[in-house]
Amino acid sequence: MSDLAVRVRGLVKRYSEQVAVDGLDLDIHRGEVYALLGPNGAGKTTSVEIMEGFRRRSAGEVTVLGEDPQRAGRAWRARLGIVSQSATDLGELTVREAVRHYAGYFPAPRDPDEVVEVVGLTEHARKRIGKLSGGQRRRVDVALGIVGRPELLFLDEPTTGFDPAARRQFWTLVADLSGAGTTILLTTHYLDEAEALADRVGVIARGRLVTEGDPATLGGRSSAKAVVSWQEDGRRMTEETDTPDTVVAGLMRRHDGAVPGLTITRPSLEDAYLSLIGAASADDLTGGTGPADGATGAGDDEVAAAAGKGSR
Amino acid sequence: MSTAEKTGTGTLPSTLRLGLSRGGIELKQFFRERDSVVFTFGMPAFLLLLLATMFTDTFEDTGVTASMIFTASMIAAGIMSTTLVNLGIGVAMDREDGTLKRLQGLPTPKAAYFIGKIVLVLVATIAEVALLLALGVALYDVDLPSTGAKWFTFAWVFLLGTVACAALGIAISSLPRSGRSAGAVIMLPFIALQFVSGILFNPIKDLPSPLLEIGSLLPLKWMAQGFRSVFLPDVMVVQEVTGSWELGRTALVLGAWCVAGLALCLLTFRWQRRGEG
């Protein structure tokens, strides 16, 4: 059996007047947590829905758990868990009734009460779903996504509407599922979520994968210049550098070991992401063929240069 | 916790078991939702009470009151409400709120969804007819059929009417642009149909002929006529359009609508909203 849970080559989805997905290539390994990032309208949801077998592709190859989603049957579906966006059904059922009912669709489901427990809804188990808050409702969707013990779990913006505590709890749940061997494809707008959960992230823009890699090094952010900032003579001073340790050592000497308001920042995943999708759309405007690796750093340099204007 | 290893063991539940389980869920959702209980289920009984209170005349020498006629005819409208209106709005809502998408993403055979709807429609329709009959018997001196032949007519009119209207309901669920607009798009023609089919208008032979012709093309008029033949004494046949119960023609028209409805159903049913997929 292949060690790829998802293999996508040259995926294209055309609607009558527009191209939603334009040659997407993607590999997701078994056991991996993969986060797909991208602005609204970039083709994330369309791509994911093609992998889930909801939509038909216009061109390209897609293999999910060894089968073509357009042809696969019930046995294949039983190995997937899907948490889609924007479901508003089930309002008249209680949490417990819904999880019990949908457990019955799978050959070897988890215990429904245990699933209600792990998504943190035990105290609301007898409540009608229509009366839950947005974040609680979303947790019901997650419960229904995992009750069938999926090998591959699709999470499409799963934490929208969660409060910070619920998001942290959800992250623990995803880590547990991943620890138990579940492969997870996550789409999200929360970059900290991608950073906390994903083994790899991919950035999709204009229907194409712009870059992918370890969230810690995405877009060259680990090797980008650091910005050292401190307080001096009542002003905020900043310096951009490849060697922040040397700069800080100098500052320490000048300030007798206590540098007021000292911070050292590298580009966050969000900075890297914004410059990547910025580069992708600028590239489209000039009719280029896609950003080279070196070009993706440009956005970071601009941010650093702008920050550097205040320095001596 | 060994989530991944345990998948693939065990067998998928049978379509019938899933369908029956869906039927239970459908019934819970239907009877817990205020809109469906008030409009789809309660409306025919409400209209019957209203009409029977307003029109209290008796047909000379027969002892038959307007309320009896309304009861018999309203059973037909009640069936249409829990089948056509119920499914027309319900399936449109299922498409809108993500129910159908959720099912599509689960190991659900499509047939299980329809079995669930059949269970819902059968239970709701039997309960609706029982409610209307109970009102008629308790308040308006309606007599239950005394002969086997009349019970037989009741059974086939009920069955053909239910199947035809349920199939048409699924077919028209594709018409509304959204689930939210489904109520208006389906309710308005349904009320108009009750006028031209002689449900809200009595006796039917006094309807202006263009309206009567429209009504005669559609199943509701024939269902109501069939139920009048069951629940009214035979002297009342003179109040019908042709002076006959026309049971043969009723069976033919309703049978034709069953076939047409099922065909329309197969042709038009979509799992997703227009413009998706």
Tokens of A102: 């949908």
Task: Determine the distance in angstroms separating the CA of A158 from the nearest CA of chain B, rounded to an integer.
Answer: 15
Task: Confirm if A218 and A269 have CB atoms less than 8 A apart.
Answer: yes
Segment A28-42, tens digit of pLDDT = 999 999 999 988 888
Segment A152-183, tens digit of pLDDT = 999 998 888 788 888 888 899 899 999 999 99
Share of chain A above pLDDT 90, in %: 42
Residue A140: beta bridge partners?
none
- Cα–Cα distance list, B137 to B134, B152, B204 (Å): 5, 19, 22
76-135 of B, contacting A, C-beta below 8 A: 94, 97-99, 101-102, 104-109
| pLDDT over 80 (residue A299) | no
- Cα–Cα distance list, A206 to A185, A190, A203 (Å): 19, 19, 10
pLDDT of residue A164: 87
Q: Which of A88, A101, A105 sits opposite B98 (nearest CB)?
A: A88
A176:B18 CB<8 A: no
Banded model confidence at residue B275, pLDDT cuts 50, 70, 90: low
| Phi and psi torsions of B70, nearest 5° | -60, -40
- Give chain B positions within 8 Å (CB) of A182: 3-4
Residue of B nearest to A106 (CA): B12
pLDDT of residue A51: 95
CB atoms within 10 A of CB B2: 9
A84:B98 CB<8 A: yes
Query: What is the DSSP-derived secondary structure letter of residue B142?
Result: P
User: Which of the residues B7, B22, B26, B34 would you substitute to probe the A interface, choosing the one with the greatest number of A C-beta atoms within 10 Å?
Assistant: B7
Nearest to B91, CA basis, from B273, B260, B215, B242: B273
First to last CA, chain B: 37
Tokens of B267: 């042709």
Q: What single string gives the DSSP state of each residue in B197-218? A: TTSSSSSGGGS-HHHHHHHHHS
Range with the poorest average pLDDT among A263-272, B105-114, B215-224 = A263-272
Segment A248-260, tens digit of pLDDT = 888 888 888 788 8
Banded model confidence at residue B6, pLDDT cuts 50, 70, 90: very low
Can you tell me the ipTM of this complex?
0.83
User: Which of the residues B106, B110, B119, B276 would you substitute to probe the A interface, choosing the one with the greatest number of A C-beta atoms within 10 Å?
Assistant: B106
Tokens of B199: 């449900």
A149:B99 CB<8 A: no
pLDDT of residue B61: 76
Residue A229: beta bridge partners?
A238, A263
| pLDDT over 60 (residue A298) | no
Size of interface A-B (CB pairs under 8 A): 111
pLDDT of residue A280: 61
| pLDDT over 50 (residue A185) | yes
Task: Determine the distance in angstroms separating the CA of A284 from the nearest CA of chain B, rounded to an integer.
Answer: 27
| pLDDT over 60 (residue A304) | no
pLDDT of residue A258: 84
Angle at the Cα of A34 from the Cα atoms of B4 and A2, rounded to 5 degrees: 55
Q: How far apart are CA A294 and CA A276, in angstroms?
A: 11
Tokens 């969804």, located at residue: B113
User: Which of the residues A89, A127, A151, A185 would you substitute to probe the B interface, choosing the one with the greatest number of B C-beta atoms within 10 Å?
Assistant: A89
- Give chain B positions within 8 Å (CB) of A52: 105
Tokens of A111: 């215990």
Q: How far apart are CA A99 and CA A162, in angstroms?
A: 20
Task: Determine the distance in angstroms separating the CA of B273 from the nearest CA of chain A, rounded to an integer.
Answer: 12
| pLDDT over 80 (residue A275) | no
Segment B139-182, tens digit of pLDDT = 998 999 989 999 999 999 999 999 999 999 999 888 877 777 88
| pLDDT over 90 (residue A269) | no
Q: Which of A105, A107, A182 sits opposite B3 (nearest CB)?
A: A182
Segment B54-81, tens digit of pLDDT = 887 887 777 888 899 999 999 999 999 9
Banded model confidence at residue B4, pLDDT cuts 50, 70, 90: very low
Q: Which of B5, B10, B101 sits opposite A107 (nearest CB)?
A: B10
Q: How far apart are CA B2 and CA A149, in angstroms?
A: 9
Q: Which residues are CB-neighbours of A172 under 8 A, at least 6 positions away?
A: none
Q: Which of A55, A93, A107 sits opposite B25 (nearest CB)?
A: A93
Task: Confirm if A185 and A154 have CB atoms less than 8 A apart.
Answer: yes
| pLDDT over 70 (residue A302) | no
User: Which of the residues A13, A64, A137, A149 would you substitute to probe the B interface, choosing the one with the greatest number of B C-beta atoms within 10 Å?
Assistant: A149
CB atoms within 10 A of CB B245: 19
Q: Which residues are CB-neighbours of A113 under 8 A, at least 6 positions away?
A: A96, A122, A125
- Give chain B positions within 8 Å (CB) of A56: 277
Q: How far apart are CA B50 and CA B237, in angstroms?
A: 25
pLDDT of residue B223: 96
Angle at the Cα of A54 from the Cα atoms of A143 and B99, rounded to 5 degrees: 50
pLDDT of residue B273: 63
SS3 per residue for A276-310: HHHHHHHHHHCCCCCCCCHHHHHHHHHHHHHHHCC
pLDDT of residue A292: 37
Task: Determine the distance in angstroms separating the CA of B106 from the nearest CA of chain A, rounded to an integer.
Answer: 6
Q: Which of B9, B33, B276 sits opposite A108 (nearest CB)?
A: B9
Segment B11-68, tens digit of pLDDT = 888 999 999 999 999 999 999 988 778 888 899 999 999 998 888 788 777 788 889 9
B28:A77 CB<8 A: no
| Average pLDDT along chain A | 83
Looking at per-residue pLDDT, the higher value among A76 and A303 belongs to: A76
| Average pLDDT along chain B | 88
pLDDT of residue B269: 82
pLDDT of residue A7: 95
**Helices B219-231 and B179-196: crossing angle, nearest 10°?**
50
B1:A92 CB<8 A: no
- Give chain A positions within 8 Å (CB) of B109: 74
Indicate the residue type of B101. K
Task: Confirm if B165 and B84 have CB atoms less than 8 A apart.
Answer: yes
